[in-house]
């Protein structure tokens, strides 16, 4: 136990470094956090507070917020996500320990699961992390109940988990409930109805992908997803049918339904008392998600071999269903398992680029049959059925990659790693038993290979994570002070936040990036806030936002030009009344990085944090910048924009240097007195001894006379 705790603590530290050095420009985390904060303050989920997700996370996190007083910000979201991340790794390790009693296999499974869930760093606070943890709880709890022949516990526990997932994200919860419900149907003593239940499950497995994928069935990647899923699901189902028992009693069903009903009633009652009518709940939780496959799609490029692997697996399991494999084929299967595990360990070495998460979707799903076909004929055991249960959950959870194959590949696919390690361990034991003279070599050799691969992976995580965390600069924004981002990116976000605080009363963004609202405490026009508001909000909701923006002359919009271009190039329609209004009524006041700071037509502002360098003919260069701390400035320093921020020029503000301070009004014009606190600092730079890099690779640091940093600025493009 002490070793496990030390290992989890180590993974927790690595996860902390990773989570606190990543922030994605599309800012899904800001959308989720702003929705939670707005719901906590006002209620009215789905009527006023827009969300694509179910009510359970809102109720659950609100209860935690009330009980603990924990703030809803970027830092708390990362700590919650770290708990889910390490929790999934711990539960995967527990599954492997329960099956193998091998410390090495347990440690390897924990690390691989952690590595496979690395995409969690992209969206801290996202319901996907909660859903992954719930799936792990359901898989592990169900496996323990199966091994303990506790059919009633299995039914109640998995149904509760599935209901919580259903009330968080309807498709993911439905996939879990399908896996749990079909398992119960096949293992319940139903007498003469047993065959009816079996055919209902078979028919459901056949129809489910057709019903799920029909909206985008014209796209090749979706058709291949259906083929790979069907082949893999039916392969697992054939094995379940061959090895099932009937240990669950019919009385477990109403108890499970009662538990699920109580949970659902509690969640619905809470949101209803906070202003959500039942009709709006149905609309927001069920009907609106049905539109999403037509709103945004992220396709998957399938390897050519994958569908054939899935079809081969189905044929192999059907042959096994007719009779056990011969001894010759058992040896080949054991070697195939080891090759699959070796492929997994090799892929893990590139997991810093998230390739391990994609492996389970592109290859792992189609190779599930290799992990599960028994190596020798033996009577079915509870431990074996527990393994099949975990595989059954995995196969259905991977469907959440439709229609957006992004982080969902990690959230839905991580259960493949403990399955692979269990199967590899079984293969080593099997081959060792057949080769008695080299049995020790097989087992020790396999352990050494796995440990070396994992040591290399862990070393890479530690070195890269520690280097990022120690070299990057703190973001120093409210609710995100401990985040450390690359010099240019973190500086860009700070500059935008400073200008929002100085020039905005209402803040909107394009697409929706609501961390800016969290950092600056500036409200959005309405409570209907979505990432892709141009696709997700109806015309009435967009008109309400237009009216609020039009009424506020100090309204500001932050536009991410790269994201807008990326969405347009990938088939997302950037249109609608709000989009057209933004295009017509707002203009860029300044640009920094790939962001634009938009203000109403005719409005002018003094942009903080932006420096300009002019090169008059036959004169020294002139540095021009706007600050609100000019009196304290004792030195101006030019640095490289990226770490280690090498100083290129240091200019003390002292005679005989030519410099001036001019008070400014909010609109950037010259003021007769310092009423706004804004000033233009202009100074003549000495000619550099060597040519300076491009201005986009430089930053300006204002220091006090004692060297303390007052402010950092960027050059405008």
Residue 482 pLDDT: 93
Q: Point out which residues pair with 586 in neighbouring strands.
A: 600
Q: Contact at 8 Å (CB) between 463 and 14?
A: no
Nearest to 165 by CA among 181, 149, 151: 181
Beta strand 622-627 with 610-614 is: antiparallel
Compute how many other C-beta atoms are within 10 angstroms of the C-beta atom of residue 611.
23
Residue 2 pLDDT: 66
CA 100, 104, 107, 109 dihedral sign is negative
Instruction: Tell me the per-residue pLDDT of 299-333, one tens digit each, with 9 for 90 and over.
Output: 788 999 999 999 999 888 888 777 666 666 888 88
Q: Indicate the average pLDDT of the chain.
A: 89
Compute how many other C-beta atoms are within 10 angstroms of the C-beta atom of residue 568.
12
Q: What percent of the chain has pLDDT over 90?
A: 57
Residues of the chain with pLDDT under 70: 1-4, 291-295, 323-328, 351-353, 436-442, 630-631, 654-658, 672-676, 688-690
Q: What is the pTM for the complete model shown?
A: 0.94
Residue 562 pLDDT: 93
For residue 335, the surrounding DSSP H or E stretch is helix 327-348
- Residue 390, SS3 per DSSP: helix
Q: Point out which residues pair with 681 in neighbouring strands.
A: 625, 661
Instruction: Tell me the per-residue pLDDT of 378-412, one tens digit each, with 9 for 90 and over.
Output: 788 999 999 999 999 999 999 999 888 788 999 99
The CATH fold assigned to 610-715 is Immunoglobulin-like (2.60.40)
Burial of 2 (0-12, 13-18, 19+ CB in 10 A): exposed
DSSP 217-283: TTSHHHHHHHHHHHHHHHHHHHHHHHH----B-TTHHHHHHHHHHHHHHHHHHHHHHTT--HHHHHI
Residue 351 pLDDT: 62
Residue 635 pLDDT: 83
Domain ranges of the chain: 39-289+296-465, 484-600, 610-715
Residue 641 pLDDT: 84
What is the spatial distance between Cα 554 and Cα 523, in angstroms, rounded to a whole number?
A: 12
Compute how many other C-beta atoms are within 10 angstroms of the C-beta atom of residue 530.
18
Whether omega for the bond prior to residue 185 falls within 30 degrees of 0, making it cis, is: no
Q: Contact at 8 Å (CB) between 94 and 140?
A: yes
What is the spatial distance between Cα 606 and Cα 589, in angstroms, rounded to a whole number?
A: 9
Q: Contact at 8 Å (CB) between 245 and 385?
A: yes
Residue 445 pLDDT: 78
Residue 358 pLDDT: 87
DSSP 398-435: GGGGSSB-STHHHHHHTTHHHHHHHHHHHHHHHHHHH-
């Amino acid at each position: 136990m002490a070793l496990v705790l030390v290992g989890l603590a180590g993974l927790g530290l690595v996860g902390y470094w990773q989570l606190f050095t990543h922030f994605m420009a599309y800012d899904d985390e800001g959308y989720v956090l702003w929705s939670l904060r707005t719901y906590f303050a006002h209620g009215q989920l789905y009527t006023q507070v827009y969300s694509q997700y179910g009510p359970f996370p809102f109720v659950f996190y609100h209860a935690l917020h009330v009980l603990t007083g924990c703030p809803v910000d970027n830092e708390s979201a990362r700590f919650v996500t770290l708990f889910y991340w390490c929790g999934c790794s711990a539960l995967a390790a527990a599954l492997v320990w329960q099956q193998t009693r091998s410390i090495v296999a347990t440690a390897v499974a924990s690390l691989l699961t952690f590595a496979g869930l690395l995409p969690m760093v992209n969206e801290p606070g996202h319901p996907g992390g909660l859903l992954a943890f719930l799936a792990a709880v359901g898989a592990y709890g169900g496996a323990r109940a199966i091994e303990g022949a506790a059919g009633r516990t299995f039914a109640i526990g998995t149904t509760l988990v599935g209901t919580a997932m259903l009330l968080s994200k309807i498709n993911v919860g439905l996939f879990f409930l399908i896996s749990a419900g079909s398992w119960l149907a096949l293992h319940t003593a139903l007498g003469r109805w047993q065959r009816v239940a079996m055919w209902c499950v078979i028919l459901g497995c056949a129809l489910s992908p057709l019903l799920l994928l029909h909206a985008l069935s014209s796209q090749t990647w979706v058709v291949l997803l259906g083929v790979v899923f069907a082949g893999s699901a039916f392969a697992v189902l054939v094995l379940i049918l061959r090895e099932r028992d009937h240990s669950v009693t019919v009385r477990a069903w109403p108890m499970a339904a009662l538990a699920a009903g109580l949970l659902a009633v509690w969640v619905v009652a809470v949101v209803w008392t906070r202003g959500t009518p039942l009709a709006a709940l149905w609309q927001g939780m069920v009907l609106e998600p049905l539109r999403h496959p037509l709103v945004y799609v992220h396709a998957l490029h399938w390897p050519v071999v994958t569908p054939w692997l899935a079809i081969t697996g189905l044929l192999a399991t059907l042959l096994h269903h007719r009779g056990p494999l011969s001894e010759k084929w058992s040896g080949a299967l054991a070697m195939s398992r080891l090759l699959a595990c070796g492929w997994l360990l090799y892929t893990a070495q590139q997991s810093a680029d998230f390739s391990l998460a994609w492996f389970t979707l592109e290859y792992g799903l189609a190779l599930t049959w290799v992990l599960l076909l028994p190596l020798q004929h033996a009577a079915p055991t509870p431990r074996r059925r527990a393994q099949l249960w975990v595989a059954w959950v995995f196969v259905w959870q991977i469907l959440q990659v439709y229609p957006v194959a992004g982080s969902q590949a990690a959230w839905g696919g991580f259960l493949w790693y403990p399955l692979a390690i269990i199967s590899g361990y079984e293969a080593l034991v099997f081959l060792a038993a057949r080769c008695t003279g080299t049995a020790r070599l097989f087992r020790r050799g396999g352990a050494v290979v796995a440990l070396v691969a994992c040591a290399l992976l862990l070393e890479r995580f530690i070195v890269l994570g520690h280097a990022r965390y120690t070299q990057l600069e703190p973001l120093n924004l409210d609710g995100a002070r401990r985040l450390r981002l690359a010099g240019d990116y973190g500086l860009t976000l700070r500059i935008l936040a400073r200008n929002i605080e100085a020039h905005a009363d209402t803040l909107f963004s394009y697409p929706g990036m609501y961390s800016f609202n969290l950092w600056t405490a500036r409200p959005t026009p309405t409570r209907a806030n979505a990432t892709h508001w141009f696709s997700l909000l109806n015309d009435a909701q967009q008109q309400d936002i237009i009216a609020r923006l039009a009424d506020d002359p100090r309204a500001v919009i932050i536009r991410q030009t790269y994201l807008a271009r990326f969405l347009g190039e990938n088939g997302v329609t950037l249109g609608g009344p709000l989009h057209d209004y933004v295009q017509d009524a707002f203009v860029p006041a300044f640009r920094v990085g790939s962001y634009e700071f938009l203000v109403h037509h005719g409005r002018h502002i003094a942009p903080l944090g932006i420096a300009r360098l002019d090169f008059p003919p036959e004169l020294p260069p002139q540095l021009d910048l706007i600050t609100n701390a000019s009196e304290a400035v004792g030195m101006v320093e030019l640095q490289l924009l990226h770490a280690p921020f090498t100083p290129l020029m240091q200019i003390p503000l002292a005679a005989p240097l030519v410099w001036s301070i001019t008070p400014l009004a909010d609109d950037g014009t010259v003021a007769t007195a310092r009423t706004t606190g804004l000033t233009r600092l202009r100074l003549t730079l000495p000619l550099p001894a060597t040519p300076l890099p491009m201005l986009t690779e430089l930053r300006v640091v204002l220091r006090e006379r004692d060297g303390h940093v007052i402010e950092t600025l960027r050059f405008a493009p």
